[in-house]
Each structure stands twice: as C-alpha cells, then as structure tokens.
Amino acid sequence: MVVARSDKPAIILAMLDTKMIIARNREVIQKKCRSLVITITTTGMVTIAWAGNAKMALSCSCAMCEIRVGNNLTAMLRSTRDMIMERSTVFAAIRYRRSVREYDPRPIEDWKLDILLESARLAPSSTNSQPWRIIVVKNPDTRKQLSLATPGGINHHYWMVDAPVVLVMCAIKSNVQKFAQLIGKNYHLVDIGIAGEHVVLAATELGLGTCWVGWIDKKRVRAILGIPAQAEIVCLIGVGYPKNGAIPVSEMTDQFAAVEPRQENGEIGIGGIAANKRKSLEEIIFHEKVNA
C-alpha cells in the first residue's frame, strides 16, 4: 500500500462500481473507487492510497471516475469548495428563492408548516430574548382583510387571498431590548428578520413560495387579529405553493448550489420567477476597511 499526501485543500470524485460512496464523520470525508482511497481531513490534508508500486503510472478505470494518478503522485483534484457547494441545499434555496405573488390555493401540509415554525423558533436572537410571536392565519376571510390592510388603502396585496397561510410576525421586546431601543438600537427587528428568513429558506427547500410584506397598516392589522398593545407588528409573510410550480429539492440542489457561474439577471427561480438584477460583489464588499 502506497500513500501520497498533499496539503492542498481538495477532493476527488470517485466511483465504486459506478456507485459513489461517501463516508462522513467529524474528522474526514472519504471516497473510494476500485483502485484508490482518497481521504480529505477537515484541515485540508489529502491522502491518496492505492495498491501497487509508487513509480507505476496509474489511472483508475471506474466509470465516470475523475482520478488520474501518475509517477509524481499528482492527481486531478477538484476544490473542497466545489464538492461541498454542489450539495448545499441551503445555498441552493438562497439562490432559488423569489418573492412569490401567485399561488395555488391548495393547503400546506401540517408537517411542512411545523418545519417552518420550528425553523423560526430555532433562530438566534439578541441576548437570547426570542422576541418573536407569530400568528398563523389560514382563514380565507381574515386573509382577505389582511390583504386590504395597507396604508391609505392603496396598493392592496390581492394575491394574499390565494396564499393558504399568512404568517404575522410580531415582537415582544425584552427589558434589555427596550433599553437598547432608547439609544437607537432596534435589536428586536434584527431578530424578527433572522427568524423570518429561516422560515423563507426552509419553505423554499420544501417547494413553497413566500413573500415578505412590509407595506401594511399596522393599526388595522392589530384590530383584525386582536394583537395586544405590547406586541409590535413587524411584517407579514405569505406562504404557499407557487401557481407555476417548484422543482424537487434534489433538482434545485443540482441546478442552484454552485456559486459559479454567478446568478445573472433573469435566472428562473421558484414559481418560474426571474431573478432581479443584483449588484456585484465589488460594489457591496469591502475588505479590512472602506476605501475612499
């Protein structure tokens, strides 16, 4: 048995009888083929082991195998980033998500709704205050009232009538958050944003469309739902199956998990909705300090 090592963070796609084998634990990612065993540790160490003479040029003959090992013990390796990202359902959901305003009125399964609500419950919050209070609205008449509860009675959210669930995101501030608000720190709003985005991404993975709604008449919403004065109404989130459908999570991951190529204006996401134009990384990211 000969072992080759490299400190380059990389990984190999290998096949065993055309079936990929991945062994994962806290320390390593390991892949096997008929001739080679490749191990990648969490620190990026690559171990290539095979039976034979180290001086013998070797290529694996497995179907679709990308392993090529020669006299100098080099290999054609793909980066660890590519291997991880191509199976990342989180990043795929981020890229596939769109603001959906056309819904199939069929109800959401209870188990899916449970996942959305649990995703919100597990969100991080300032000083672990967990300020979120979420009202789940399914009643069609109530959803219609909410769709009309807009400032000045303009720009109604008529699409909300077809969304089978509307989540009303509220916050009850802790004493620490109340004090922080006195000095201009609205931590509770950040917390609600985190919890809401947990909901949105979990929904996308489950094939559900969502839409954040901030254009609301909070006084009317409070009256419609009987929300107590100590609860601050932050926003609504419409949830449901997109009228134009959604692809299975496996297909979503295959299509959208990779960073490259970058998302372009018009890329089709959930509900058949085209992506809006995004600013480039160069416009929004600064390293160490902001250059004048």
Give the per-residue SS3 of the chain. Answer: CEEEEECCCEECCCCECCECCEEECCCEEEEECCCEEEEEECCCCEEEEECCCCCCCEECCCCCCCCEECCCCCECCEEHHHHHHCCCHHHHHHHHCCECCCEECCCCCHHHHHHHHHHHHCCCCHHHCCCEEEEEECCHHHHHHHHHCCHHHCCCCHHHHCCCEEEEEEECCCHHHHHHHHCCCCHHHHHHHHHHHHHHHHHHHCCCEEEEECCCCHHHHHHHHCCCCCCEEEEEEEEEEECCCCCCHHHHHHHHCCCCCCCCCCCECHHHCECCCCCCHHHHCCCCCCCC
Q: Is 135 in the same domain as 34?
A: no
Q: Is 212 in the same domain as 278?
A: yes
Q: Is 106 in the same domain as 169?
A: yes
Q: Is 72 in the same domain as 114?
A: no
Per-residue pLDDT 10s for the chain (292 aa) are 333 333 333 333 333 232 333 333 323 444 444 455 555 444 444 455 554 443 333 333 333 333 333 333 333 344 455 555 567 899 999 999 999 999 999 999 999 999 999 999 999 999 999 999 999 999 999 999 999 999 999 999 999 999 999 999 999 999 989 898 899 989 899 999 999 999 999 999 999 999 999 999 999 999 999 999 999 999 999 999 999 999 999 899 989 988 888 898 999 999 999 999 999 999 999 999 987 5
Quick check: is 214 in a domain? yes
State pTM to two decimals. 0.73
CATH number at residue 114: 3.40.109.10
Q: Is 196 in the same domain as 229?
A: yes
Quick check: is 85 in a domain? no
Q: How many domains does the chain have?
A: 2
Q: Is 178 in the same domain as 129?
A: yes
Q: Is 182 in the same domain as 209?
A: yes
Domain that holds residue 216: 90-283
Quick check: is 230 in a domain? yes
Q: Is 104 in the same domain as 179?
A: yes
Q: Is 180 in the same domain as 36?
A: no
Q: Is 145 in the same domain as 253?
A: yes
